[in-house]
Copies of this chain bind each other. A is one copy, B any other.
């Protein structure tokens, strides 16, 4: 087999859930039938890696220093929703009618992996809560052990700044990943979120 083709198959394995066999199918499919689409993928991927960074306000992916959601005057700055990942943020945005702002942790507390408050940008979140505009912190971490520990930490942080913490209602399956919850369940859980009791 051509060495470049082997390199291409190997390169596809960087994608999640793609093993040797799928990588081979992808390489062959693109070269046999989708050279135009493959070229577009190569170009878009290179541009995205070069131009997409993180929003200074919410840490979500953004092509600009401040993302369009954070910069929008039509969003409600009294509500801030904390999520673990950009995918979770997108799932909530697509499934619910939420009009507040977000804070993307880009992870969850995991002391054994060296992921503490600083790695999740919680100093920046604290500063944000201290500004006084946020009235409710909607904690939408995943219902896993680490997600729960993170939620607990966030609720304490909110109370320190006299911000009301709330969590998504039961409905999100235990042990599940928010990103894969169906829209209906997620929308319901978001709508019936409950205030966090101490």
Contacts and interface: CB of A to CB of B under 8 A. Distances in A.
Most buried by B among A37, A42, A93: A42
Given A30-B45, A43-B46, A52 B5 contact: yes
A62 B106 CA distance: 42
Contacts of A41: 11-12, 14-15, 42, 45
A27 B38 CA distance: 15
Give the number of copies in the complex: 2
Interface string A1-34: 1111101100110111100001011111111101
Q: Chain A, interface size: which category?
A: 35 or more
A99 interface: no
A61 B5 contact: yes
15 contacts: A2-B52, A2-B63, A2-B68, A4-B48, A7-B44, A8-B45, A11-B41, A24-B87, A24-B90, A31-B48, A31-B52, A35-B49, A41-B45, A42-B42, A43-B46
Interface of A: 1-5, 7-8, 11-12, 14-17, 22, 24-32, 34-35, 37-49, 51-52, 61-63, 67-68, 85-87, 90, 93, 106
